[in-house]
Structure 1
Amino acid sequence: MSPSQPLLSPDSSAVSMQHQWLPFTPNREFKDDPRLFGSARDQYFYDLDGRPVLDAGSGLFTTPAGHCRREIADAVHAQLLELDFTPSFLRAHPKSFELSNRLVELLPAGMDKLFFVSSGSEAVDTAMKICLAYQRARGATGRSMFVSRERAYHGVNFGGVALSGMVNNRRAYGNVVHGVVHMRDTWMEENRFQVGQPQHGRERADDLLRLIQLHGAENIAACFVEPIAGSTGVLVPPPGYLERLREICTAHGILLVFDEVICGFGRTGRPFAAQSFGVTPDLITMAKALTNGAIPMAAVAVGRHVHDTIVDTAPDGAIEFFHGYTWSAHPVSCAAALAALDIYRDEKLFERAHAMSGYFLEQVATLRELPVVTDIRGYGMIAGVDIQSDGVPGRRGHLLQKQLFDAGVHLKTTGDCAILSPQFIFEREHIDKTVDIVRSTLASFEA
């Protein structure tokens, strides 16, 4: 599509493109050669000409139940006509409590308190504050440090950027918030081309012990990890790795936080990756698929022991946790989330994801035959395919996602890694089509 076309262009009087500043986008390049969606339905986006683009990225890990679900649209419409907004400061509405109850049914036992926010980035920063509040409430006022990992992504607010371990996310803003140290990530050369949990790397969990020995456990509030590091390219934990982190955190009074903004709501075949890997953290952040991507919403699930320590030690009549957002537990977002949870339950989409994952990973693994492919990793319904750099990190990956769009597939790339995270309503034919298009597109890249 040329930017001079009248539907949407930098200079058109119909709809101008010159005023919006797009996130995570080379804006000048995009406006010279824009790629636009005009509509969506089920497994597909459609461009402005009505050409279908298979959504192999579930939007942005957001939309596993497929696009434009009537059930969610109807719930949002009804809610807007009944109660369009209420503050959550000193007020509430019934659907927020209903949603809390529904989420507790999905969460690991004991994680039964929910704090609602509007994005994954807000959820991470909120979780950081909860960790600090907990440590102070129990008298451990010196615990103000956080441990995260290299190649981690925890959103774009200042706290999450400090936790993040991807250089381009940290380069400009990562040092504004101090007191964050990083463990190694779990990628290892000897684990290349292993799908499922890789064989090697459990011992890297002991990096946490090394940091405790360096900084003192009495100074560390919490350890944040993505069970599967998603946005960096799908780094799956080896067996025993998360278990060892849990063991070390428990022994040293450090809270363990799972960032499940990507992993949550069935991506690993269970409601949360905590259940897939059999490890219960103290807090879980969630977002994206909470509303099937229809309305912005996120939440922090908090273990009862953490919540009760904060609330029970506060004076009577005092605000126990001095934090919140205008849009916390927005009634329309709650309505959308409840409708999405109904779809996941009634259509057994988490179970469907679990059943489909074997075939999905088998098909993605066939891409290793391509000379340009340097590694493949995956678990459940998410996989990462690394391609050989052309000497400028990320340039080939950026070109790949544009060429895939033109060929009829949408997915996310990070650097030189293609991340496939298909919708749970995909049939085998959609997986086959996705892999075939990825294969034919990659075949044009020189190794």
Structure 2
Amino acid sequence: MTDTPVRNTTARWRDLDRRHHLSPFTDYRDLKGAEAGSRIITRAEGIQLFDSEGEAFLDGMAGLWCVNVGYGRKELAEAAYRQMLELPYYNTFFKTATPPPVELSERLAALMPEKLNRVFYGSSGSESNDTVVRLARHFWKLEGQPEKQHFISRTYAYHGSTMASASLGGMTPMQEGFGLPLPGFHHVVPPYWYDFGGDLSPEEFGQKAARAIEEKILEIGPENVAAFIGEPIMGAGGVIVPPPGYWEEVQRICRQYDVLLVADEVICGFGRTGHWFASELFGIEPDLMTMAKGITSGYLPLSAVGVSDRIVEALLREGGEFAHGYTYSGHPAACAVALANLDIIEKEGLVERTRNETGPHLQQALHAAFDDHPLVGEVRGTGLIAAVELVKDKASRTHWEKLGRVGGICRDHCFANRVVIRAVRDAMVLSPPLVITPAEIDEMVVRLKHCIDATARDLGVL
């Protein structure tokens, strides 16, 4: 008996993937064997993915936190097509510009927090956080303080995969064996009450976590610290929602010691929290702000750094070349797609809908399903970003041995039940497209409940 044509195609793609393609963040041993290999995703529509064998999956992660307006939006494909016919590419170096990045910059300036009125483009969040490092150090040099070279971030932070952005991040596996972090990058405790709060209340721990930044500034010397960078809600670190008062104290500390405040909005931006940017939710007034992912809903690679008036004024006043940029900075087709993406978000009211309808519905549905579950220690989130923390003992907030093992078991159950939910250590994290409906949220939570129940049975908890 021969395989069906579909299976023959799948087998061929898996074989080619094994033989020629090196995927990111992959243990390549897992791809060995005729029956092993990557799942081949061939098409998508709305919030659903379809693989090469015809299976449909609910995408609870919006790709990689990015497909905010959902899959199959013809408006975005048509925007790219029109721009590619007119001007597929030209660089923005050497006092040259093209219309799409200029128009997009105006749109972003109207949406970003106050005092951010200029934009520098890249192709990924990693690139833009690299730009943050270069631009912050360049700014302090122009200000006559070139010794301000050091950056403070947090454990579990994710800021990208380049050498500089991985140094900004606090993901140990991304640093060990790579000579990272580079000199000048420091990390403090994150505002992760569930893991690190001990007997303190969330508010008390939030203040303690903020003061850890101050202690690090004083240890390094304020005259040596360029910036503190943080995601308003730490996404890839496990959807860590800061306790009330944390960001107010962080901002006060940065202002007191004249340290630039950088908001990494790569995941939180463009409606994810029910606000255009989570900086608005937490009252953050950043000096620099990185954006990516939802800026084009992932349809084309694009990222950006919002730059404050204070920094721009120094650039204009002191002059001199900022010797930094990328071939695809301000790529016209990517920027055209971003403009069309913003049109969809505004026209369909996705930010307001996330804030007032779907975001509360997701949070309420998760709490109803899991607050009393014996395997669940905490449900946390806001808007359309959430985490369900799987623990061994709820009362003592004790994790299972070999952190990440239980999350991996649950993730495998999720794939088997055709719902894409990511495991971060032992937290199951969700970040669905903003176009998700309440009925689709209910179905996603039902499937996740089935998978967490199955995991609990595997562990002998149910």
Cα distance in 2, alignment partners of residues 228 and 309 from structure 1: 30
Partner residue, 2:70:
66
Cα distance in 2, alignment partners of residues 330 and 12 from structure 1: 32
Cα distance in 2, alignment partners of residues 12 and 373 from structure 1: 36
Shift of 1:207: 1.1
Does residue 326 of structure 2 align to residue 322 of structure 1? Answer: no
Shift of 1:52: 1.7
Cα distance in 2, alignment partners of residues 78 and 394 from structure 1: 45
Partner residue, 1:22:
23
Cα distance in 2, alignment partners of residues 399 and 46 from structure 1: 22
Which of 28, 49, 52 in structure 1 is aligned with 2:53?
Answer: 49
Partner residue, 1:404:
414
CA contact (8 A) 2:168 2:181 kept: no
Which of 430, 438, 441 in structure 1 is aligned with 2:448?
Answer: 438
Does residue 212 of structure 2 align to residue 207 of structure 1? Answer: yes
Letter in 1 for 2:433: Q
Partner residue, 1:158:
163
Which of 242, 264, 269 in structure 2 is aligned with 1:264?
Answer: 269
Which of 269, 278, 281 in structure 2 is aligned with 1:273?
Answer: 278
Shift of 1:100: 0.2
CA contact (8 A) 1:61 1:262 kept: yes
Partner residue, 2:390:
387
Show CA shifts across 1:208-261 (max 9, x none). 211122111001000011111110111111121111111111111110001110
Which of 172, 177, 188 in structure 2 is aligned with 1:172?
Answer: 177
Letter in 1 for 2:225: I
Structure 1: give runs of 5+ residues left out of the alignment: none
CA contact (8 A) 1:8 1:17 kept: no
SS at match of 1:100: helix
Relative to 1, partners in 2 of residues 1:190 and 1:80: Cα closer, same or farther, differing over 3 Å?
closer
Cα distance in 1, alignment partners of residues 443 and 275 from structure 2: 26
SS at match of 2:11: coil
Which of 30, 34, 39 in structure 2 is aligned with 1:35?
Answer: 39
Partner residue, 2:231:
226
CA contact (8 A) 1:10 1:18 kept: no
Letter in 2 for 1:374: G
Q: How does 1:181-260 map to 2 (within 5 A)?
A: 181-189=186-194, 199-203=203-207, 204-260=209-265
Shift of 1:88: 1.4
Shift of 1:98: 0.1
The more displaced of 68-77 and 417-426 is 417-426
Structure 2: give runs of 5+ residues left out of the alignment: 392-398
Relative to 1, partners in 2 of residues 1:259 and 1:85: Cα closer, same or farther, differing over 3 Å?
same
Letter in 2 for 1:367: F
Shift of 1:17: 3.9
The more displaced of 42-51 and 246-255 is 42-51
Cα distance in 2, alignment partners of residues 278 and 116 from structure 1: 25
Identity of aligned residues (%): 34
Which of 378, 381, 390 in structure 1 is aligned with 2:381?
Answer: 378
Relative to 1, partners in 2 of residues 1:191 and 1:168: Cα closer, same or farther, differing over 3 Å?
closer
SS at match of 2:229: strand
Cα distance in 2, alignment partners of residues 381 and 118 from structure 1: 24
SS at match of 1:350: helix
Number of residues paired by the alignment? 437
Shift of 1:38: 1.2
Relative to 1, partners in 2 of residues 1:16 and 1:412: Cα closer, same or farther, differing over 3 Å?
closer
SS at match of 1:369: coil
CA contact (8 A) 1:161 1:174 kept: no
SS at match of 1:143: coil
Q: How does 1:323-338 map to 2 (within 5 A)?
A: 323-338=324-339
Does residue 372 of structure 2 align to residue 362 of structure 1? Answer: no
Show CA shifts across 1:91-143 (max 9, x none). 22011100000111111111001000000000111011111011111011111
CA contact (8 A) 1:198 1:236 kept: no
CA contact (8 A) 1:9 1:16 kept: no
Shift of 1:28: 3.0
CA contact (8 A) 2:18 2:31 kept: no
Shift of 1:53: 0.7
TM-score with structure 2 length normalisation?
A: 0.90
Cα distance in 1, alignment partners of residues 14 and 430 from structure 2: 35
Cα distance in 2, alignment partners of residues 136 and 254 from structure 1: 14
The more displaced of 116-125 and 207-216 is 207-216
Shift of 1:311: 2.8
CA contact (8 A) 2:301 2:334 kept: yes
CA contact (8 A) 1:370 1:442 kept: no
Relative to 1, partners in 2 of residues 1:374 and 1:252: Cα closer, same or farther, differing over 3 Å?
same
TM-score with structure 1 length normalisation?
A: 0.93
CA contact (8 A) 1:6 1:12 kept: no
SS at match of 1:18: helix
Cα distance in 2, alignment partners of residues 210 and 16 from structure 1: 48
Relative to 1, partners in 2 of residues 1:6 and 1:87: Cα closer, same or farther, differing over 3 Å?
same
Cα distance in 2, alignment partners of residues 30 and 368 from structure 1: 37
Which of 81, 85, 105 in structure 2 is aligned with 1:81?
Answer: 85
SS at match of 1:7: helix
Which of 120, 123, 127 in structure 1 is aligned with 2:132?
Answer: 127
CA contact (8 A) 1:191 1:198 kept: no
Shift of 1:191: 9.2
Cα distance in 1, alignment partners of residues 203 and 28 from structure 2: 41
Shift of 1:33: 4.3
Shift of 1:408: 1.6
SS at match of 1:201: helix
CA contact (8 A) 1:152 1:225 kept: yes
The CA RMSD measured in Å over matched residues stands at 2.1
